[in-house]
Structure 1
Amino acid sequence: MKIDAFCHLLPAEYAKRLFAIDDSPVARNIQKRVSGVPALVDMDERFRIMDEFGPDYRQIVNSAAPPLEDLGPAARTVELARIANDGMAELTRDNPDRFAGFCAAVSLSDVDAAIAEAERAFDELGAVGVQIYTHVNGGPMDQERFFPFYEAVAARGDKMIQVHPCRDSSWSDYKTEARSKFEIWWTLGWEYDLSAFMSRLVFSGVFERLPDIKILIHHGGAMIPHFAGRIGPGWDQLGSRTPADQAEDIAGYPLTERPIDAFRRFYVDTAYFGAGDAMRTAIKFFGVDHTLFASDTPFDPEKGPGYIRSTIANLEEMDIIDDADRAEIYHGNVSRLLGL
């Protein structure tokens, strides 16, 4: 059994509403991108792709980017979350041999509404978790106003929070420029976003305040495992690089453990797009027990099967794990986490 724990799609009614939005630059950008990926909306095409990987391959799905918060006023985005979740629930219910579950969409523009929608998705629709992004309207996710949301999900025990990166070309590469060039905002910027999200949550003490919270970071934990020397010995010296007149920037964090140990409390996936050496580093850093098989389908150059195929190949050839470890990564860990 292989349960692909981080896959994207667009339910039909949600896609219809998304493509009708004409007053959001973010919506226009995603309309262009997803129009060339049929498996996001065409389930016959999606199932044809999935057939390559046999009857024991299933997916946990979520709604494809962008963040709902970027699609307009809160009233609209709350409605879009509901439409997306109803659609994903229907697809999961009608195709249990294809989909092991879905992670609900929420709009954190209205935290109370996001909590209510998550609880509806859990209780009425059977969602196995929720998907959030690395910022809300450009703001950090360690703000205290978001903690009731984290607390509500953590209290469910067997639900996870999937975290997806987000930025666009308006996040420039240099202060002197207005826009990012050469899609650096995506290739490198998304990985920085994930790493900054993780760091701010670690120093907020989220794992000390909510020890039962389950947070799955996309793209294998991004930069964190590859900069373990800076995360470990580097952050063990927190404050040594900060001038006295900026002391408030490092004050108040409630950690009772080394920062590097707190980072290892995150769960990560294997969505490395075929970069086996990078995946190997992430597995060594986070451990087999915190690694979930995921491909990020269908955003590969083949529009569906490419990243699934290369991710499986990476895991099969990796010499630091054995068959029992592979079984845990493929399905054991996610099954225990979510009570599948």
Structure 2
Amino acid sequence: MKIDAFNHVLPPAYAQRLFAIDDSPVARNVQKRVAGVPALVDMDVRLRIMDEFGPDYRQIINTAAPPLEDLGPRDRTTELARIANEGMAEIVAAHPDRFAGFVAAVSLADVDAAIEEAQRAFDDLGAHGVQIYTHFQGGPMDQERFFPFYQAVAERGNKIIQVHPCRDSSWADYKTEDRSRFEIWWTLGWEYDLSAFMSRLVFAGVFERLPGIKILIHHGGAMIPHFAGRVGPGWDQLGARTPEDQQEDITGYPLTRRPLDYFKEFYVDTAYFGAGDPMRTAIRFFGVDHTLFASDSPFDPEKGPGYIRSTIANLEEMDILEDADREAIYHGNVARLLGLPD
């Protein structure tokens, strides 16, 4: 059994509503981006792609970026969350042998409404978790106003928070420029966003305050495992590089362990787009028990099967894994975390 834990869809009713938005630059951009990826909306196309990987291959689905709160007024984004979640629940119900479940969309423009929608998705629609993004309209996700949302999900025990990056070309690469060039904002910027999100939550004490919280970081934990020396011994010297008049910049929640230890509490996926060596590094850093098989389908050059195929190939040829490790990564870990049939 292979349960692909992080894949994107646009349920038909949600896609129709999304493509009808004509007053949002963010909506126009995503309309252009996803128009050439039919497997996002057409489930017949999607199922034919999945057929390549046999009857034991299943997906957990979520909505494609951008964050809902970037698509317009608060009432609209709350409505979009409901439409998206009902649509994903319908897809799972129609094909239970192909889709192991879905992760709910929420709009954090209204935290109370986001909690309410998450609870509705859990209780009425069977969602296995929620998807959030690495920032809220350019602001950090360790703001105290988001803590009740994290707490509400953590208290449900077997629900997970999936984290997806979301910066765009307006995030310039240099102070002297207005925009990011050559899609650096995507290739490198998204990985910085994920890493910064993880860091801010660690120093905000999320794992100290909510020891049962389950957070899945997309793209294998991004930069963190590849800079383990800086994250470990480097952050053990927190404050050594900060002037006395900037001490507020290094004041966070009182931590009782090394920063490095908290980073290892995140769960990560295998969405490395066929790059086996970085995947190996991430598995070594986070451990087999914190690694979930995921491909990020259908955003590969083939519009569906490419990243699935290459990710499986990476895991099959990885010399640091025993058969039991592969079984855990392919389905055992996600089944344990979400209470799925093993």
Q: What's the TM-score once normalised by structure 2's chain length?
A: 0.99
Please give the alpha-carbon distance, in whole angstroms, between the structure 2 residues aligned to 1:131 and 1:251: 28
Cα deviation for residue 146 of structure 1 reads 0.2
Please give the alpha-carbon distance, in whole angstroms, between the structure 2 residues aligned to 1:305 and 1:130: 25
Alignment-derived partner of residue 284 in structure 2: 284
Amino acid at match of 2:50: M
Please give the alpha-carbon distance, in whole angstroms, between the structure 2 residues aligned to 1:62 and 1:185: 22
Alignment-derived partner of residue 87 in structure 1: 87
Alignment-derived partner of residue 325 in structure 2: 325
Amino acid at match of 1:143: Q
What SS does structure 2 have at the residue aligned with 1:113? helix
Alignment-derived partner of residue 119 in structure 1: 119
Give structure 2 stretches of 5+ with no counterpart. none
- What does 1:73-152 align with in structure 2 at a 5 Å threshold? 73-152=73-152
2:59 is the alignment partner of 1:59:
yes
Please give the alpha-carbon distance, in whole angstroms, between the structure 1 residues aligned to 2:127 and 2:251: 38
Cα deviation for residue 252 of structure 1 reads 3.2
Alignment-derived partner of residue 192 in structure 1: 192
Please give the alpha-carbon distance, in whole angstroms, between the structure 2 residues aligned to 1:70 and 1:303: 25
- What does 1:235-246 align with in structure 2 at a 5 Å threshold? 235-246=235-246
Give structure 1 stretches of 5+ with no counterpart. none
What SS does structure 2 have at the residue aligned with 1:117? helix
Cα deviation for residue 155 of structure 1 reads 0.3
2:296 is the alignment partner of 1:296:
yes
- What does 1:211-222 align with in structure 2 at a 5 Å threshold? 211-222=211-222
Please give the alpha-carbon distance, in whole angstroms, between the structure 1 residues aligned to 2:271 and 2:283: 12
Alignment-derived partner of residue 234 in structure 1: 234
Amino acid at match of 2:89: A
Please give the alpha-carbon distance, in whole angstroms, between the structure 1 residues aligned to 2:304 and 2:211: 36
Please give the alpha-carbon distance, in whole angstroms, between the structure 1 residues aligned to 2:281 and 2:43: 34
State whether residues 26 and 70 of structure 2, in contact with CA within 8 Å, keep that contact through their aligned partners in structure 1: yes
Please give the alpha-carbon distance, in whole angstroms, between the structure 1 residues aligned to 2:67 and 2:111: 14
Q: Deviations over 1:2-32 (max 9, x none)?
A: 0000000000000000001111111111000
State whether residues 11 and 84 of structure 2, in contact with CA within 8 Å, keep that contact through their aligned partners in structure 1: yes
What SS does structure 2 have at the residue aligned with 1:161? strand
Cα deviation for residue 251 of structure 1 reads 1.3
Alignment-derived partner of residue 273 in structure 1: 273
What SS does structure 2 have at the residue aligned with 1:157? coil
What SS does structure 2 have at the residue aligned with 1:59? strand
Q: Deviations over 1:145-179 (max 9, x none)?
A: 00000000000000000000001100001011010
Alignment-derived partner of residue 45 in structure 1: 45
Please give the alpha-carbon distance, in whole angstroms, between the structure 2 residues aligned to 1:29 and 1:181: 16
What SS does structure 1 have at the residue aligned with 2:103? strand
Please give the alpha-carbon distance, in whole angstroms, between the structure 2 residues aligned to 1:252 and 1:331: 36
Identity, in percent, stands at 84
Cα deviation for residue 125 of structure 1 reads 0.2
Please give the alpha-carbon distance, in whole angstroms, between the structure 1 residues aligned to 2:120 and 2:130: 11
Cα deviation for residue 266 of structure 1 reads 0.1
Two-structure CA RMSD over aligned residues (Å)? 0.4
Cα deviation for residue 205 of structure 1 reads 0.4
What SS does structure 2 have at the residue aligned with 1:16? helix
Q: Which runs of 4+ in 1 moved over 4 A?
A: none
Aligned residues: 340
Alignment-derived partner of residue 257 in structure 1: 257
State whether residues 205 and 252 of structure 2, in contact with CA within 8 Å, keep that contact through their aligned partners in structure 1: no
Cα deviation for residue 83 of structure 1 reads 0.2
Cα deviation for residue 254 of structure 1 reads 1.6
Amino acid at match of 1:230: R
Alignment-derived partner of residue 36 in structure 2: 36
Amino acid at match of 1:239: G
Alignment-derived partner of residue 17 in structure 1: 17
Please give the alpha-carbon distance, in whole angstroms, between the structure 2 residues aligned to 1:253 and 1:80: 35
Please give the alpha-carbon distance, in whole angstroms, between the structure 2 residues aligned to 1:291 and 1:176: 39
